[in-house]
Amino acid sequence: GGPAGLSCCRRLCDSGLRVTLVQESRGLGGKLCTKFVNGPEDPTLHFDMGVQLLKPAGPLAEVLDGIVEPWPAAGRFKCITCTGGWSGWRIRGTADLPTEGYVVGVPSMSKIGRHLAAQCKDLTIHLDRTAVVRGREPKTGCWEVEWRREAATGGQLRYRPELADVPLQVGRGDFDAVVLAFEANKVLRGCKSGYKMVEPSATPALRRQVAGRTKTSQMWNLMVAFDTELPMPWDAATIEGHRSIAWVAVNSSKPQRARVPQCFMVFSTQEWADWKQWSKREVERELLEEFLGFLQQVLSRRPPKPSFVLSGRWGNNTEVPLTGEAPSGEFPMRALGLNTGTAPAVWDGPGRMGATGDWSRGWSVSDAYVAGIEMAE
């Protein structure tokens, strides 16, 4: 249900095929997701947990009319350079970054996924379910696919208490072909994470095309809110030279968002994420302290105590795609371009199974969208 899966569905639906999409989370869009802490009916606490902004290019730029608006505002997008190390650091300089072409989803990033799905004629969608390929019928060659949701772990229930209600329904269907539109690691190894738990479904031929050719990394994000609006001199900043923090965005400055509580999104550096095996509580303590110290230097005064703090982890952040190219910078800045070159299609013809995602050609939403189209074709 991310950009690659949805563009693949769109192209297949446009060709007159009957298409079913099984999405493991409650919403569509993949990393194009806005978390409303108190539910979608209460938009006051809102955090874009994944993609922070887009610079649509290629086919993606043609399908977003009416659901995106410019952000950050001109003059309010910064590159902040820091100097120092773990024991101490300071801000050395601040430079303006261009804002032309950058947009965000309105009224939320999640709107983009729903918009892309609505363009898929007669698409059947099963949300909040994890799919597993059970096997192939020898006579017909059809794949049997089952979808359900497993029980959540204790840690998952802390952050998503609604997962305590496990639906008993199990869905099944027979399909001529299957496309696995998710992270390369999950294509190869499945997932062992509570309600998302599933065995790997890829055929041996598919695994051979992916294994050892992609690399992923982890990163942490931090959602922070203040009851009062701080006088921030910018809407978003990419940070260079800081050992812990790579990105800070004033989520409340985005168009059609609630301004108070003032919501911030913070992303760690990969170096900080790899330093140790962090627990969520440790991140909410240690990375928060780094962020408050950073704000103190930006504002020249200590910020107030936050009214809300929550951490999140992306465990399969694309580091090296199938093209073998190396990224430029940290997330999210690395995920704003479009790879206009050729990329290999991960497809097992005899097995009638494929796999796709941003990892097949790059890092951005535009890359993922193109990858899905290439898979469909």
Q: Which residue has the higher pLDDT, 217 or 255?
A: 255
Residue 195: per-residue pLDDT: 57
Residue 341: per-residue pLDDT: 85
pLDDT band at 163 (very low <50, low <70, confident <90, very high): low
Residue 167: per-residue pLDDT: 67
Residue 159: per-residue pLDDT: 64
pLDDT surpasses 70 at 194: no
List all residues 6 or more positions away from 234 whose beta carbon is below 8 Å from its beta carbon: 72, 76, 77, 78, 250
Secondary structure letter of residue 195 according to DSSP: G
pLDDT band at 197 (very low <50, low <70, confident <90, very high): low
Distances (CA, A) of 124 to 130, 132, 141, 341: 15, 17, 22, 32
Output phi, psi for 222, to 5 deg: -135, 125
Place of tokens 């990393």: 31
Going by C-alpha positions, the residue among 45, 59, 9, 57 that lies closest to residue 30 is 9
Query: What number of other Cβ atoms are within 10 A of residue 280's Cβ?
Result: 15
- pLDDT, one tens digit per residue, over 243-287 is 999 999 999 999 999 999 999 999 999 999 999 999 999 999 999
pLDDT surpasses 60 at 180: yes
CB 266 within 8 A of CB 247: yes
User: What whole-number distance in Å separates Cα of residue 104 and Cα of residue 112?
Assistant: 9
- pLDDT, one tens digit per residue, over 60-115 is 999 999 999 999 999 999 999 999 988 889 999 999 999 999 999 999 999 999 99
- pLDDT, one tens digit per residue, over 26-60 is 889 999 999 999 988 899 999 999 999 999 999 99
Q: What is the mean pLDDT of the chain?
A: 92
